[in-house]
Amino acid sequence: MTTRRITEHLPFGEKRDPRFFGQDILSVSQFDRDDLETIFAVAHEMYGIVERIGSFDLLKGKILTNLFYEPSTRTSSSFVAAIERLGGSVVQINNVTYSSVSKGETLEDTVRTMESYTDAIVLRHPEKGSAARAAAAAAKPVINAGDGPGEHPTQALLDAYTIREEMGTMDGLTVTMLGDLKYGRTVHSLAKLLTMYDVKINYVSPDILEMPESLVAEVDAAGIEQHATADLDEVLAATDILYVTRIQKERFEDPSEYDLVKDSYVITPETLSGAKERMAVMHPLPRVGEISTDVDSDPRAAYFRQMEYGMYVRMALLALVLGRA
């Protein structure tokens, strides 16, 4: 965000939180634990309001741009549902081939265009750092909905919200991240976010898909105990949160490398027989075989609840960023 151009007058009683109002959401590192508590508290209110009345007019008149250069089901549609449940509306651009991007327009010019029509831009783009570039070009808030293998901060917020809902707390937990830790942006954001809590993190992946060293160093600097292995059995019994990820096929330069690792881990009911009675299996979705559908009926399978919580967390973020929480 370069300059502020917000001139509207506040209706009586409306409150704006300067930590969020008009701000870009680019990385979980921009938040502290207090900020997270605020987001979770507002998300919890949103949850209750949706249960009771479905939608309300908090953001009436506000328009969001959903600008997606990469495929999305949950992030894109939960942002649409979130703004619409708050009484606002959305301009959806999810097939950039039919926009001026196919004529060679830069990301910067596209976001400048969309901010002149709408109040905030949700951006998903294949390049790491793209959300920061867009934010530098735009005066209105840009929300990073995934910048290539970089970060996915709104996913990490909903993941943390899910952990609290499932386990009651984050402190004292052992979180095991499994799968593609190299290219998986959701685990990058979640590991950074977890540094704000008293947790232990295990990384389980094939050798070629290990968590990037820079991230491990960042988590280490926060004093978090970390352990990396290729063998899930080594850490499963002590795990409170098993965070499973998809091998990110689209990020491999060499397709034969993908073939080597694609079936590395499959969670089945048998796998979970070695896990705690009280724990949660999470996944940002989509899954492509790494959790068997037989696991879905296990009460520990939290991934469908997790995606529902995503809408409440995104409602909270929109309300806070657009200034009416």
The rounded distance, in Å, linking the Cα atoms of 15 and 325 is 7
For ligand ASP, the binding residue among 125, 140, 152, 188 (CB under 6 A) is 152
**Contact assessment for residue 313 and residue 284, using Cβ atoms and an 8 Å cutoff:** no
Q: CB of residue 309 vs ligand ASP: minimum separation in angstroms? A: 14
What order of strands is seen across the sheet that includes strand 142-147?
89-93, 63-68, 120-125, 142-147
Query: Among candidates 79, 131, 71, which has minimal Cα distance to 107?
Result: 131
Between 186 and 306, name the residue whose CB sits nearer to ligand ASP.
186
Q: CB of residue 179 vs ligand ASP: minimum separation in angstroms? A: 9
The rounded distance, in Å, linking the Cα atoms of 2 and 14 is 25
**Contact assessment for residue 237 and residue 275, using Cβ atoms and an 8 Å cutoff:** yes
Between 146 and 153, name the residue whose CB sits nearer to ligand ASP.
146
Between 152 and 324, name the residue whose CB sits nearer to ligand ASP.
152
Between 140 and 246, name the residue whose CB sits nearer to ligand ASP.
246
Q: Does 85 bind ligand ASP (CB under 6 A)?
A: no
Between 68 and 115, name the residue whose CB sits nearer to ligand ASP.
68
The rounded distance, in Å, linking the Cα atoms of 79 and 73 is 10
The rounded distance, in Å, linking the Cα atoms of 186 and 283 is 9
Q: Does 186 bind ligand ASP (CB under 6 A)?
A: yes
**Contact assessment for residue 236 and residue 270, using Cβ atoms and an 8 Å cutoff:** no
Query: Among candidates 282, 156, 258, 275, which has minimal Cα distance to 206?
Result: 258
- Please, which of residues 278-297 interact with ligand ASP by CB under 6 A? 284
What DSSP assignment string belongs to 100-125? GGGGT--HHHHHHHHHHHSSEEEEEE
Q: CB of residue 6 vs ligand ASP: minimum separation in angstroms? A: 30
Q: CB of residue 284 vs ligand ASP: minimum separation in angstroms? A: 4
Q: CB of residue 145 vs ligand ASP: minimum separation in angstroms? A: 8
Q: CB of residue 246 vs ligand ASP: minimum separation in angstroms? A: 4
Query: Among candidates 321, 188, 192, 294, which has minimal Cα distance to 245?
Result: 188
The rounded distance, in Å, linking the Cα atoms of 160 and 49 is 21
The rounded distance, in Å, linking the Cα atoms of 202 and 177 is 6
Q: Does 144 bind ligand ASP (CB under 6 A)?
A: no
Between 186 and 239, name the residue whose CB sits nearer to ligand ASP.
186
Number of residues near ligand ASP (by CB under 6 A):
6
The rounded distance, in Å, linking the Cα atoms of 181 and 226 is 14
Between 58 and 282, name the residue whose CB sits nearer to ligand ASP.
282
- Please, which of residues 11-70 interact with ligand ASP by CB under 6 A? none
- Please, which of residues 227-246 interact with ligand ASP by CB under 6 A? 246
Q: Does 185 bind ligand ASP (CB under 6 A)?
A: yes
Between 38 and 264, name the residue whose CB sits nearer to ligand ASP.
264
Q: Does 146 bind ligand ASP (CB under 6 A)?
A: yes
Q: Does 153 bind ligand ASP (CB under 6 A)?
A: no
Q: Summarize as ranges the residues that interact with ligand ASP (CB under 6 A).
A: 146, 152, 185-186, 246, 284
